[in-house]
A and B are shown apart, each in its own frame.
Chain A
Amino acid sequence: MSLSLTDPSWYPIASSDDLPFRHVYQGQLLGRELAVWRADDGNVNVWENRCLHRGVRLSIGINEGGELKCQYHGWRYANRSAGCTYIPAHPADAPARRIQNKTYPVREAFGLVWSAANDDIAFTPFPGAETGTWFALRPMPVNAAPEDVHAALTSLAPDDQPAELLPALGVRVGTTLYFVQPIDANRAVIRGLLAHEPADAITTLRHYNETLTKLRDRLERAAARKPIPAPLNPAFDKVSVELSTMPDISIPRGNTMTVVVKRKWTSAEGIIGFELASRTGHLPTFQPGAHIDVHLPNGLIRQYSITNGPGDLLSYIIGVKAESASKGGSKALIETVSEGDLLAISEPRNNFPLRRDATRTVLIAAGIGITPLLSMARFLDKSSLPYELHYFARTDDQIAFRAELGALHGKIVLHTGLARDTIGQTIATALGSWSRAQHVYVCGPSTMLETVRATAAAQDWPEEAIHFEYFKNDKVIDDSSSFEIELARSAMTLQVPAGKTILEVMRDAGLSVPSSCEQGACGTCLTGVIVGECDHQDVYLNDSEKRANTAMLTCVSRAKSARLVLDI
């Protein structure tokens, strides 16, 4: 039997004990190096041992509990998905979603960690697995061909009680099980299991160690007399075409997927929590501040922020505000969707990314605005980066996600029932004066955002240090203007009449353009402007971005000049 790079069998690649807290273990299977690490939630990750950036080994990286950090440039990769969540060289941008390491299937069982070169077949325990509690022996590496090691183990059995061959280079000798992990053409690791932990573990371990050492010496002497087999030569997958070119700052466009409502509960007065779980495997990677589109049963689409912390990808937890004056969005979600129902959601989008290079981060949440900031606080908390979270609510009963906030170690201050001017003063004190590398993130109703922006500006916080996300645009849109738009890359000139948005006109002309909230709040329809003066009616761009006139939101904004040339 010779080794194959496409062998679908599962082999043990590590002992559970090889993965202590916050360690990264270097494994190898069929010529491929692996970075193996256990996240704080217990999940074991088996990834190709190469950072996608410049090929440095991930096994010398740092296990931060929910993410793995590469030692070369500090790129972070999330538990489970292996998706990149942060690129320190560009702290203001959310990384392109498709930057994702190659993962291998994994199962932790019987004191060992098992993996395979592909997921062609499902993991099945060895015959008799249910009869023992299983105790792993010390692994024994051998510089000899795996099939020779397997044969040698088989020959350990006495003549009157021959060994029982097991699938995938396994063998049962008496009551001991041996599995041969094929590292490469001329190297293997013997991983043994006893059915139960022996009374005197040390003596037993020593006995087996001596037996296997003698076996190893015999095997290596025999291997030295044979020609050395050629090592296996695995290839690295090519990077996708879009990722291989110099990226612009882009807003990722997503597809929909189906999730199941695993849990629905009242988190606070007027705030309902929903846990949306993946049906198979894990959900896509996100960066803190991200939101998903939820496709409601009544046909509407609404955005909700993801509250999760790093590497927490089995389900997304969102908070929904019960709004009596709702156009039907949140109301439909709260009243008609129950536990067990299926929902279509988009992949996460991020227009509110968190920088992790601040010396001080201030998070200011009001009401349902706590949702993206809870995620930010969790990421900063996990990396022990300094932050303060100020959460404003009208009454104590309206404070949501109390237990989750209680689990954080940073400074969390709850402000309830404050009068308008007291809020202003509280924010002024919380912000303090600005110094290099301090950032504030705000989310809440427009009155709160305006207060924070005005207060921060008065205390010399520069615009780049103030980050905000509007959930909705309260302004009344004036769509009485009519003008012409020229689409530079689509070679079209279109008329935009009063009462129709630029987005609608483009879609009527057959262009497919992404959008989400269609209120000028989320930034998904952001389009470059080449010529013309915009009439910005959105709440997404900041003042200097609006003055620059190089981009606009086509769902609500219009033109002051007679003509606009758009980069689309």
Chain B
Amino acid sequence: MPNIDTLTHNSWQVIAATEEIGIGVVTTTILLDTQIALTRDADGLPVVWRRSDEQNGDEIDPDTIVERLPVITGYGYIWTSFGTPPKELFPIPEYAEPDRVNMSCGSIGIHVSAPRAVENFLDMGHFPYVHTDILGAEPHTEVKEYDVEVSEERDEVLATKCKFFQPRAALSATEGMEVEYVYRVPHPYCSVLYKSSPEAPERRDVIAIFLQPVSEDRCRAHLLQSMIDSTSTVTDLRRFQQTIFGQDKPILENQYPKRLPLDPRSETPIRADKSAIAYRRWLSQKGVTYGVIPLAS
């Protein structure tokens, strides 16, 4: 059994999109190498427990489940923990705004560790190569200098003033423009991206990735969008996100080693990798060992 560090053990970890879990029906999944099962009760509230011999799709009466794991719902997803989690999830205040279109955009398995997927989400240099003609296009490949800070009070990594020229920054965009992004990492396996909404430029669209650490070299990516968009359908918005994610998946699965190496001498950073370097250091400082290759002691 791999060594699960204290922080990972006690954090909330995402496991499913709430509306996809049938009431009175078992869904099985794996979290931190452990088999778990979940369902929702008659009021729609999630119930999560360590799986014994339940099969996916079995009918179940949630009242019969006595030994339950802690559970919380947030941002359209169900989260659980094997330890003693905090009272609340990290904040995404925009989600509660009344005119937002909030949706989950799918849960996709990737054969790579959760931290590698977070780093890919923070990276802009790959836009012209992996998301060609959508999030970037040659020859506009430059990643200009941006700011990174690690906020102790909020306990997050924050990257601001990230600018990139995009041919088609969002579904509603019709021509290319330079967009400005803000990235947050409020949890070792989650990241939130803010970009100005084409429809309401003074407000920001929010895209978040919540990674479920299935094993040290596998994860499931759960995507959230919280948009100001009165014209696109949810289906179209989802399809756009899934296209982007479908392009990242084969690249991530061709990355070695699968666990994120925290030793600065494992890989070659450039100035555009400032947020990734801050993220790797932050994981080291927090003592995260699951899904990473820690610094040699």
Interface residue ranges, A against B (CB under 8 Å): 33, 50, 52-57, 60, 71-74, 87-92, 99, 236, 238-241, 243-247, 356-359, 385, 437
Tell whether A238 pairs with B271 under 8 Å between CB atoms, given A357-B138, A385-B139.
Answer: no
The interface residues of chain A lying within 8 Å CB-to-CB of B123 are: 73
Q: How far is the CB of A494 from chain B (nearest CB, A)?
A: 33
Q: How far is the CB of B129 from chain A (nearest CB, A)?
A: 5
- Interface check B257, CB cutoff 8 A: yes
Considering the chains assembled together, what is the distance between the CA atoms of A147 and B138 in angstroms? 49
Considering the chains assembled together, what is the distance between the CA atoms of A152 and B140 in angstroms? 56
Q: How far is the CB of A13 from chain B (nearest CB, A)?
A: 19
Contact B267 A72 (CB under 8 A): no
The interface residues of chain A lying within 8 Å CB-to-CB of B254 are: 56-57, 60
Q: How far is the CB of A53 from chain B (nearest CB, A)?
A: 6
Kindly report which residue of chain A lies nearest to residue B138, judged by CB atoms: A357
Within 8 A of A (CB), among B130-147: 130, 138-143
Q: Tell me which of B129, B250, B267 contacts A54 (CB under 8 A).
A: B267
Q: How far is the CB of A562 from chain B (nearest CB, A)?
A: 34
Considering the chains assembled together, what is the distance between the CA atoms of A53 and B251 in angstroms? 13
Q: Tell me which of B130, B139, B140, B141 contacts A71 (CB under 8 A).
A: B130
Q: How far is the CB of B259 from chain A (nearest CB, A)?
A: 11
Contact A239 B267 (CB under 8 A): yes
Having A54-B119, A89-B141, A89-B271, one finds 8 other A-B pairs with CB under 8 Å, namely A53-B270, A56-B254, A57-B255, A60-B250, A89-B124, A239-B267, A247-B271, A437-B139
Considering the chains assembled together, what is the distance between the CA atoms of A55 and B120 in angstroms? 12
Contact A88 B266 (CB under 8 A): no
Tell whether A245 pairs with B255 under 8 Å between CB atoms, given A90-B143, A91-B141, A357-B138.
Answer: no
Considering the chains assembled together, what is the distance between the CA atoms of A91 and B268 in angstroms? 17
The interface residues of chain A lying within 8 Å CB-to-CB of B274 are: 246
The interface residues of chain A lying within 8 Å CB-to-CB of B264 are: 244-245
Contact A357 B268 (CB under 8 A): no
The interface residues of chain B lying within 8 Å CB-to-CB of A247 are: 270-271
Contact A71 B265 (CB under 8 A): no
- Interface check B272, CB cutoff 8 A: yes
Contact B266 A238 (CB under 8 A): yes
Tell whether A73 pairs with B125 under 8 Å between CB atoms, given A56-B251, A385-B139.
Answer: yes
* 13 sampled A-B residue pairs with Cβ under 8 A: A53-B267, A71-B251, A72-B130, A73-B129, A74-B141, A87-B270, A88-B128, A88-B129, A89-B142, A238-B263, A239-B266, A244-B269, A359-B139
The interface residues of chain B lying within 8 Å CB-to-CB of A60 are: 250, 254
- Interface check B30, CB cutoff 8 A: no
The interface residues of chain A lying within 8 Å CB-to-CB of B108 are: none
Interface residue ranges, B against A (CB under 8 Å): 119, 123-126, 128-130, 138-143, 250-251, 254-257, 263-272, 274, 277
Kindly report which residue of chain A lies nearest to residue B276, judged by CB atoms: A54
Q: How far is the CB of A26 from chain B (nearest CB, A)?
A: 10
Contact A57 B125 (CB under 8 A): no
Contact A90 B267 (CB under 8 A): no
Q: How far is the CB of B122 from chain A (nearest CB, A)?
A: 12
Tell whether A90 pairs with B142 under 8 Å between CB atoms, given A56-B251, A57-B256.
Answer: yes
Considering the chains assembled together, what is the distance between the CA atoms of A53 and B270 in angstroms? 8
The interface residues of chain B lying within 8 Å CB-to-CB of A57 are: 254-256
Q: How far is the CB of A286 from chain B (nearest CB, A)?
A: 19
Considering the chains assembled together, what is the distance between the CA atoms of A239 and B251 in angstroms? 22
Q: How far is the CB of A77 from chain B (nearest CB, A)?
A: 12
Q: Tell me which of A236, A357, A359 contacts B141 (CB under 8 A).
A: A357
The interface residues of chain B lying within 8 Å CB-to-CB of A239 are: 265-268
Kindly report which residue of chain A lies nearest to residue B140, judged by CB atoms: A357
Interface of B is mostly: loop
Considering the chains assembled together, what is the distance between the CA atoms of A59 and B141 in angstroms? 22
The interface residues of chain A lying within 8 Å CB-to-CB of B130 are: 71-72
Considering the chains assembled together, what is the distance between the CA atoms of A166 and B140 in angstroms? 55
Tell whether A358 pairs with B139 under 8 Å between CB atoms, given A52-B267, A54-B267, A239-B267.
Answer: yes
Considering the chains assembled together, what is the distance between the CA atoms of A50 and B257 in angstroms? 10
Q: Which of A72, A74, A385 has the most CB of B within 10 A?
A: A72
Considering the chains assembled together, what is the distance between the CA atoms of A60 and B254 in angstroms? 8
Kindly report which residue of chain B lies nearest to residue A358, judged by CB atoms: B139
A-B residue pairs, 6 tightest by C-beta: A88-B141, A357-B139, A89-B272, A89-B125, A89-B143, A238-B265
The interface residues of chain A lying within 8 Å CB-to-CB of B138 are: 74, 88, 357
Considering the chains assembled together, what is the distance between the CA atoms of A55 and B293 in angstroms? 14
Contact A246 B277 (CB under 8 A): yes
The interface residues of chain A lying within 8 Å CB-to-CB of B119 are: 54
Q: Which of A53, A89, A236, A240 has the most CB of B within 10 A?
A: A89
The interface residues of chain A lying within 8 Å CB-to-CB of B124 are: 89
Considering the chains assembled together, what is the distance between the CA atoms of A432 and B221 in angstroms? 49
Contact A90 B126 (CB under 8 A): no
Considering the chains assembled together, what is the distance between the CA atoms of A72 and B270 in angstroms? 14
Tell whether A72 pairs with B142 under 8 Å between CB atoms, given A236-B266, A239-B267, A241-B265.
Answer: no
The interface residues of chain A lying within 8 Å CB-to-CB of B268 are: 52-53, 99, 239, 243-244
The interface residues of chain A lying within 8 Å CB-to-CB of B250 are: 60
Kindly report which residue of chain A lies nearest to residue B145, judged by CB atoms: A90
Contact B265 A89 (CB under 8 A): no
The interface residues of chain A lying within 8 Å CB-to-CB of B141 are: 74, 88-89, 91, 357
Kindly report which residue of chain B lies nearest to residue A357, judged by CB atoms: B139
Q: Which of A54, A60, A99 has the most CB of B within 10 A?
A: A54
Contact B126 A73 (CB under 8 A): yes
Tell whether A50 pairs with B256 under 8 Å between CB atoms, given A356-B139, A357-B142, A437-B140.
Answer: yes
The interface residues of chain A lying within 8 Å CB-to-CB of B277 are: 246
Considering the chains assembled together, what is the distance between the CA atoms of A87 and B139 in angstroms? 12
Q: Tell me which of B142, B257, B271 contacts A91 (CB under 8 A).
A: B142
Q: Tell me which of A55, A73, A246 contacts B255 (CB under 8 A).
A: A55
Contact A90 B266 (CB under 8 A): no
Contact A72 B269 (CB under 8 A): no
Q: Tell me which of A88, A245, A356 contacts B125 (CB under 8 A).
A: A88
Considering the chains assembled together, what is the distance between the CA atoms of A247 and B263 in angstroms? 17
Considering the chains assembled together, what is the distance between the CA atoms of A55 and B276 in angstroms? 14
Q: How far is the CB of B166 from chain A (nearest CB, A)?
A: 14
Q: How far is the CB of A463 from chain B (nearest CB, A)?
A: 17
Q: Tell me which of A55, A74, A245, A358 contacts B129 (CB under 8 A).
A: A74
The interface residues of chain B lying within 8 Å CB-to-CB of A50 are: 256
The interface residues of chain B lying within 8 Å CB-to-CB of A72 are: 126, 129-130, 251
The interface residues of chain B lying within 8 Å CB-to-CB of A236 are: 257, 266
Considering the chains assembled together, what is the distance between the CA atoms of A464 and B118 in angstroms? 34
The interface residues of chain B lying within 8 Å CB-to-CB of A33 are: 256
The interface residues of chain B lying within 8 Å CB-to-CB of A52 are: 267-268
Kindly report which residue of chain A lies nearest to residue B269, judged by CB atoms: A246
Contact B143 A54 (CB under 8 A): no
Considering the chains assembled together, what is the distance between the CA atoms of A20 and B99 in angstroms? 56
Q: Which of A33, A238, A240, A244 has the most CB of B within 10 A?
A: A244
Kindly report which residue of chain A lies nearest to residue B124, judged by CB atoms: A89
Q: How far is the CB of A248 from chain B (nearest CB, A)?
A: 8
The interface residues of chain B lying within 8 Å CB-to-CB of A92 are: 142
The interface residues of chain A lying within 8 Å CB-to-CB of B272 are: 89-90
Q: Tell me which of A56, A89, A357, A358 contacts B270 (CB under 8 A).
A: A89
Considering the chains assembled together, what is the distance between the CA atoms of A255 and B247 in angstroms? 43
Considering the chains assembled together, what is the distance between the CA atoms of A243 and B269 in angstroms? 8
Q: How far is the CB of A117 from chain B (nearest CB, A)?
A: 18
The interface residues of chain A lying within 8 Å CB-to-CB of B265 are: 238-241, 244
Considering the chains assembled together, what is the distance between the CA atoms of A88 and B130 in angstroms? 13
